[in-house]
Amino acid sequence: MAVDRRKVAVFGGAFVLRLLLSVLFPSLPDLLTGRVEVSTPVNSFKRLQEGLFLYTRNVSPYDGGVFHQAPLLLPLFALLPNARDYPFVTAAFYALIDLVNANALVTISNSGQAVSGRLYSALRKDIKWDGVEVAAWFLFNPTTIAACLGRSTSAFTSTAILYAVSNAATGNSFNAMLALGCASYLSIYPALLFAPLVILCYDRRAQDSRAPCGAPIFAIQHFGIFLLSVGGLLGLSCLVAPDFWQFICATYGFQLLVPDLTPNIGLWWYFFIEIFDSFREFFLGVFWLHLTGYVGGLTVRLRRQPLFVLASLLGIFAIFKPYPSISDASLYFALLPLYRHLFPFSALLYATLLGPAFYHLWIYAGSGNANFFYAITLVWSLGLSILVADTIFAALRDEWEQENPELRGKDVRQV
């Protein structure tokens, strides 16, 4: 079997870069772990270490009220040497996770589903990057590197999502549902990807002439697989967290009710600090309804491009989920090169540079207030919103030009 030297060079360079940063700047991982842009209450490595401390001493990891992550992460990290005594091992482990994610991106890119599917073929399908270039975009993205060095546990959710998409893009629908179930177990929001993912699975199976059963039956069957995978992981969790209800409340209940209003790069924390408690339940419902409302509209309107719907939803989640971090943004950025659009990065760059400065002025220098940091998070969300809207407009424009070839190249004006 021939070795792809470009792939080996890119993967090897990314792995070495991460290890070098950890060795040359030994305080950098702990610094990034404490940054609100990298760590949130639901993906913090420090909180994971607290849960691991309790777990290894036969105490429920949720007793301290600090750990809010999936319990099956604890046996995994219990197999690794102590991160404080052997930081190099942990750094190498997270670097390998990034390589695994990049390999899934290569598979997605090489499947060709981003430019040509069962019901749709892009007009400019020859303008694309290959899988190694897409992987390089992901591996050398500063947000990806920062999340890796900060040891965010969102990396595992990203892995499950990317392998769900890669299996769907290659026609392995069973494994796609298992991976989506794993992602949904680790964090709630990936469950919203079920509709476009099952459409991608159906289209890919039909495209390979492996004629599946009717679409409704296909969806029901795969929804059953998805539920069984989540149920199986929840059952295994009882071995780690015997108090099942405590585990559910501390993980999924925590994400749904958003009780911890620690500052992050999202839109929820400041809003819920300011509102009266009597309106909290109402606005919780409104915010969650707003987040889930995009799924149906995008899936129906862009039915012929399910992979693009998946990518767009990941961008929307990076903006509107309760506890977002740069890991969510890096996952969205990882899928964008599949479409090779021209992206308006200026607002994102502006927010990326000023965000840490404004947080320092507020928390450490005492010369600012919460409005400083929240204002720059609004700019960050605006930049992401512009990017998501621009790519959706480009996809709709491409469909429109394909359906109306006589109008190709002409300006579209809203009346």
Task: Give a yes or no: residue 105 inside a domain.
Answer: yes
232 and 198 Cβ atoms separated by less than 8 Å: no
pTM score, two decimals? 0.89
Separation CA 200–CA 113 (nearest Å): 9
Task: Give a yes or no: residue 306 inside a domain.
Answer: yes
* Token pair 């495209």 in the structure block, residue: 207
Domain total of the chain: 1
Task: Give a yes or no: residue 259 inside a domain.
Answer: yes
Task: Give a yes or no: residue 388 inside a domain.
Answer: no
Low-confidence spans in the chain with pLDDT less than 50:
1, 341-347, 350
Give the tokens for residue 173.
Answer: 């629908």
* Cα 172 to Cα 38, 68, 221, distances in angstroms: 33, 32, 14
The pLDDT of residue 342: 39
Task: Give a yes or no: residue 44 inside a domain.
Answer: yes
Helix (H, G, I), strand (E, B) or coil at 344: coil
pLDDT tens figures, 96-145: 999 999 999 999 999 888 777 777 776 666 767 888 999 999 999 999 99
320 and 271 Cβ atoms separated by less than 8 Å: no
Give the tokens for residue 53.
Answer: 């401390």
The pLDDT of residue 399: 74
Helix (H, G, I), strand (E, B) or coil at 113: coil
The pLDDT of residue 3: 63
Pick the closest to residue 157 from 187, 196, 177, 189 (CA basis).
187
* Cα 156 to Cα 25, 128, 139, 162, 226, distances in angstroms: 24, 28, 15, 10, 18
Task: Give a yes or no: residue 88 inside a domain.
Answer: yes
Task: Give a yes or no: residue 159 inside a domain.
Answer: yes
Burial class (CB in 10 A: 0-12, 13-18, 19+), 319: buried
The pLDDT of residue 167: 95
Domain that includes residue 320, residue range? 5-340
Task: Give a yes or no: residue 286 inside a domain.
Answer: yes
pLDDT tens figures, 341-392: 434 334 455 455 555 655 555 555 555 556 666 777 777 777 778 778 877 8
